[in-house]
Structure formats: structure tokens, C-alpha cells
Amino acid sequence: MRIPNFLIGVLTAIFLLQSASAATETAPINLPKSTADHSKFKILDQDFASGPEVTKACLSCHTEASKQIHQTQHWKWEFVNPDTQQVLGKKHVVNNFCTSVKSNEAACNSCHIGYGWKDDTFDFASQENVDCLACHDHTGKYSKPSGFAGNPVAKDTEFPPGSGKIIRGINLKEIAQKVGPTTRNACGACHFKGGGGDGVKHGDLDSSLEAPDKALDVHMDAEGLNFSCATCHQTDGHQVPGSRYAPTARDKDAAHLRGAGDKSNPATCQACHGQAPHQAVKLNDHTAKIACQTCHIPAFARGGVPTKMTWDWSTAGKLDKDGKFQTLRDENDYDTYMTIKGDFKWAENVTPEYVWFNGTNKYTLIGDKIEKGDKPVRINGFEGSATDGKSMIWPIKLFRGKQQYDPVNKSLVITHLAGNDDTAYWKNLDWVKAVTAGMAKGGVKFSGQVDFIETESMWAINHMVAPKEKALACVACHSSAGRLEQIDGVYMPGRSRDHARWLELGGWLLAALTLIGVLGHGLMRIVVAKRNR
């Protein structure tokens, strides 16, 4: 039976209306990533006068959060290296940037995830001292100014007192109502600006990674994969994997996802890419000795933000022609000299240096005896060799400094650099007073004499991973004066130090004899063929 055309039209209209209705019902709603809208929480609808007041409100729901934080390196700033048994962390080591957190807590602890750490009286057991906003702020407005021992400023405050300078207060209520999962910006507030400014310390971490393109970092590409820091540094009970004090230099595991009972480091390249990530078998052979970062991070500080490569404290103290503190800047407006800090050198698009690294990172600590010699003292050194079976060839930033030193006790020193008291170096430009105060704060013996010693520190390069088409080509290493020219214990075809003249001469001789043999054989066949005819 033939269906009338008008009935077909009616049925079609009904079908289309039902489809449109179903599509409307199933259309995804644009929801926030967090499972909670904190602006709807009554306990956050109040004016907060301090950071601890905010944390107290947070703990009313997140009852175990502070207890978890208390177990982390982020909170303790302390780490016991299982191999060397050295007690490390910002409370214990000396660096060749601002030398030490000790004695400078009020300034340095702006990057601690706590409130009020100004000296040894800080209560590490206090749950309300934990700073939730430092990691979970989504407004971009949260800040903890230098000099306030990790406390935010909730109302306009004159600082330093009597200076006439006003630090504007921030609205803690607004920030608390808009918290969420950690972001690159939240992590970067400290990690991008370590050492005193944007890009200063690490070389592969700076503000260019807040919204990078694919060319700068293939994983964090804001228009592509858009990884946050926590995508790789997957937390478990607020424990953040990936330590610069004891990094995973060689991950032998297959690709693995973080799950129950998995204690491996999810922040390695192999955790996602496995042991054979390349289509070419020969390239996969390289992964036995060469860290992925060596080929896939051809340069660091390449996002438009330079990194400091040297810092010379020994030149500090020079005043301008009017007898005032001075700051000299280069053509890009980066400081190259400061009266209170000395000379600096900056660089962009830096080619890394390369070392064998087995995961052991050994530090020179306060009190360790060191001699002033021809070579710089290593603040920290990556240990490893071609023969220990645990090492890989890694790219590093090698930071060079010249810093304060006790020539009698032959040790590095703690220097009181920050603060408003008269012993702070920036107040009086007197090294003896500043070091005396710093060493007293650290409870360390000091001779009363100050000299300067050359130092160097190593920083593993892990970020700013280039797209695969921008990875190093073979010729970058397999050539005369290539990138790995100074690496011992490995034979590398094409490298000048691996040229053996007798071997090359023998090879050319064999090739010549082979050619003569082939030509002779061919000539004989021609002659014999003519005779046979």
C-alpha cells in the first residue's frame, strides 16, 4: 500500500522534532573541572583577615588535608638522601644564588606552603599554618610578598615600616571562593621564580610556560595537549613525585599508569612512552645510554625569558657616583649588576652541558671542609659513569658562582642578606657583619674572616620538550666537536676524539684493495672472454 506524501511529511517532522529534543537533552553542560563550586560554601562567605583563617575554613571539609601536607617535602623542606644519607632541603643546603634560606626566612619563605615561618619557632605541627591557596588559587591574584614570612597581606600595609611604601592587600574571600585543582600558574608562582626572579634558577622553568605553544613545550602546549604540572607529577595524598635531590636518572620500567601499589615515579618520560618509543630500531638503541631529554630538549630558556648563568657576589658593594646603591641593566632591561648582589650574566636559547648521571646528587654542606683551588667547588654534583650500569647521559644547566667563604674554617657560609636589621648585607654592605649574623642563626662556627670562592651547581633539564621534528639530528653528536665531545666511556662514530688514524688508514687501504680486486677481476674476465672467442 502506498503511503500518502502528506503522511510521510508529518512522520518526518515528528522524527526531526524528537531528534532535536534528544540532542538538547544530551548536550553537554559546560561545568568546572572541580566537583565543588566553592563560591556556594557558606563558610567561605566571610571576610578573612589572615591566611590561617582561610585554612581553618578549608579544614572544615577537607579534614585530612593538612595532615597529608605535613608529610611532604613541600612542607618540611627536608629530604634524607637514601644513598648518601645527607640531610638535604632548603633548610640545610647552601646554594650559589642567594646562598641560604637560613637567616633569610622572612624573605625566602614567601614560597613555602605555610604561614608565618620567620625563624626556628615555626610550628610545623600546626594544621592552620598550611597554605591551601598557594597551590589552589584560580584567580591569579594570590601573592605572599617578600618579608612577611609566607603570610599574605590582607589589608594595605606600609612596608618596610616608615618607608612610605604601601603593599596593597588582597581579597582572601574572593580567592578562597574560586579555588580549584592546581594549575601551571599556581606551581609557577614559586617554581618559575626561584632564585630571586623569573627564569633565574632552573633554566627550563619560567613564565613562558604559563601558556606555551607547541614549539616551546609539546606537552604543555596551551592549544594542544595542555598538560598541567600535575599531569606528570601526579600526586598521591599531596605527595608530589619528582625530586631534584634524588631524581630518577634511569627508569627501566615499561610504560605504566599510576595506580594502587605503584610506587614508581610517574614523572619520567618512560612512564608514558616506555622503553622503545621510536619507530626506528637504531634510535631505540640509544635509550639504553641516553636520557630522552638529551635529544628532545635541544636548548633551554628558549621561551623569551633568559636565565642566569653566573652570579659573582665578590663585586657587590659598589656605589654610583652619588654614593647611592645602583642597578645596571642590559639592552633587554635585565639587571647585570646590583650594589647589594654583585654581577650577573643572563642567556637565552642555551645549549645544555652533558654528564653521566645515575641518580645520586651529592651536596657540599655547611661545615664541609673545602679547599680553594684551581677548580670550582661543586655545590652539588651529579654522580655517574659509563661503567656503573645505572647512568645515563643527561643535559644540565651548569650554574657558576663566586660566593662567600670562610678561609680559616675552610667552609661555605650562611649570609644574612634580607631583613630590616642592621646586620643584613643590604643595610650596611659589610660582609663580616652579614656572615656573622647568618652563621649565628645557623648555629655554625665562624672565624670572622670572609673570602670568596668559585662554585658551580647542576640543574637537570626536564622541561621545554620540543616537538619530535625539532629533536637533535644525528650530526649534533656524531661529528667533530659535537655536543657529546667531552663525554667519556662511549665510542661515538664521527666524533673527533674517537678518530683512530691507523684504523681510518687501514679502512681506506682495504677499500682501495677491494676496488683494485674488483677492477682486476673484471679486466681478467674481459681478457678471457676475448680469448675464448
Question: In the 3-class helix/strand/coil scheme, how is 16-84 assigned residue by residue?
Answer: HHHHHHHHHHHCCCCCCCCCCCHHHCHHHCCCCCCHHHHHHHHHCCCCCHHHHHCCCHHHHCCEECCCC
Per-residue pLDDT reduced to its tens digit, 295-324: 999 999 999 999 999 999 999 999 999 999
Among 15-19, 25-29, 358-362, name the most confident range.
Answer: 358-362
* Average pLDDT for the chain: 90
The pLDDT assigned to 110 comes to: 94
Taking the C-alpha atoms of residue 128 and residue 499, their distance in angstroms, rounded to an integer, is 64
For residue 349, is pLDDT > 60? yes
Per-residue pLDDT reduced to its tens digit, 197-246: 999 999 999 999 999 999 999 999 999 999 999 999 988 899 998 888 88
For residue 120, is pLDDT > 70? yes
The pLDDT assigned to 250 comes to: 92
For residue 17, is pLDDT > 60? no
Q: Span 71-78, mean pLDDT?
A: 93
Q: Span 116-141, mean pLDDT?
A: 96
Q: Span 103-121, mean pLDDT?
A: 93
The pLDDT assigned to 15 comes to: 56
Q: Where are the domains of the chain?
A: 307-476, 500-533
Among 230-244, 249-263, 318-332, 501-515, name the most confident range.
Answer: 318-332
Per-residue pLDDT reduced to its tens digit, 151-172: 999 999 999 888 899 999 999 9
For residue 523, is pLDDT > 90? no
Per-residue pLDDT reduced to its tens digit, 48-66: 999 999 999 999 999 999 9
The pLDDT assigned to 518 comes to: 86
The pLDDT assigned to 503 comes to: 59
Taking the C-alpha atoms of residue 64 and residue 11, their distance in angstroms, rounded to an integer, is 59
- Grid cell 619563605 in the structure block, residue: 109
Find all residues with CB under 8 Å of 223, minimum gap 6, and list them. 213, 214
Phi, psi of 105, rounded to the nearest 5 degrees: -60, -40
For residue 507, is pLDDT > 90? no
Q: Is the CB of residue 280 less than 8 Å from the CB of residue 301?
A: no
pTM over cut 0.75? yes
Phi, psi of 229, rounded to the nearest 5 degrees: -60, -40
For residue 493, is pLDDT > 90? no
Q: Span 452-480, mean pLDDT?
A: 95
The pLDDT assigned to 123 comes to: 96
The pLDDT assigned to 30 comes to: 65
For residue 367, is pLDDT > 70? yes
Burial 405-417, CB ≥16 within 10 A → b, else e: bbeebebbbbbbb
- Grid cell 598541567 in the structure block, residue: 228
| 533, containing H or E segment | none
For residue 12, is pLDDT > 70? no
- Strand positions, DSSP E, 69-156: 79-80, 87-88
Among 79-88, 297-306, 440-449, name the most confident range.
Answer: 297-306
The pLDDT assigned to 85 comes to: 86
The pLDDT assigned to 499 comes to: 66
Q: SS3 breakdown of the chain: % helix, strand, coil, rounded to 5?
A: 30, 15, 55
Cis peptide before 52 (omega within 30 of 0): no
Q: Span 9-28, mean pLDDT?
A: 54
Question: And the C-alpha cell for 217?
Answer: 613545550
Least confident of 263-277, 291-305, 312-326, 432-446: 263-277
